[in-house]
Amino acid sequence: MFYNCLTLESVTINGTENIKVKDRAFYICQTLKKVTFSDEIVEIGEYAFAACDGLTEIRIPDGVTTIGENAFRNCSALEKVKFSKNLTAIPGYAFARCSSLREIDLPKNVSRIYKGCFESYGIRKVTVHCAKMWSSGKCFSFE
């Protein structure tokens, strides 16, 4: 869609219902600084926003139930993520190498996290609200 677009700075994604951000839709849009999602977004695809170096904050609306693997990987300026309360899992490498991300606050419905999902040296604090968390291992560190 906008793969490797070097002039895109802001995007608003909206629609009527059940909107999916396609795989690699904004991959390597290095100048992208702001993304606004409507509440009709239900899925963010694999690598959808990976390597968007300008993103500093992302708010995933509550309609989103699925995030693809590597969806926000290598977003080096990403400092804050507000997760959908309807997510149940964080897939592999979804936020890997987001080196500016310091804190993670996982909603209570997130009960599964996968390998490398927060692989970064920058993370200092993780808050988990579910009673029982399953992990595929090594979610928060480099191997």
Q: Looking at the DSSP assignment, which residues form a beta bridge with residue 35?
A: 11
Do residues 96 and 75 make contact, with C-beta atoms less than 8 angstroms apart?
no
Cα dihedral 115, 95, 44, 28 in deg (nearest 10): -120
Mean pLDDT along residues 91-110? 96
What percentage of residues in the chain have a pLDDT greater than 70?
99
pLDDT, average across residues 49-76? 97
SS3 content of the chain, % helix, strand, coil (to 5): 0, 25, 75
